[in-house]
Structure 1
């Protein structure tokens, strides 16, 4: 049976060989990627998913209000849940067109 020191030495040698093999594989992969980038004229920006000079993704924009409470000045765009002030006014018999801007 092997001693603990011999087993630890073997483990250290295997760890060194594994690290060396990983470095070699990584180096080969980088060389292949660089060759493909050169062949197809790609840049790092292309790899990031956005070509240089491409328009930035459109951000959300605010929507103009469509309804306003004349008493309080609160407004609603018409999207999402109706605000409480509008629900109360509709329950009291007013119509949505009464609040249209």
Structure 2
């Protein structure tokens, strides 16, 4: 196929068609892979969870307790931060607006 022979709208349509076909085939390939994995696990008498290790243990079961929240947004209580790692964007925005970090402390 000579792409130089296509005009812009034809190229866009071709791109959309290719993207749609890639998505369709990705779904198809994932389904085939899943089927093969299940068949192999079954042939050996295992479940997929047995082979892949299942879910990781929750923090409580691993002996570690979750880190407590140290900072909370003054007007949206669903926004919290433990004080570890990078500052969330809402903390950065409030600090840039002149809010003191201690004012956000729980």
TM range (shorter): 0.3 to 0.5
Q: Using structure 2 for the length normalisation, give the TM-score.
A: 0.42
Q: Using structure 1 for the length normalisation, give the TM-score.
A: 0.44
Greater Rg by CA? 1
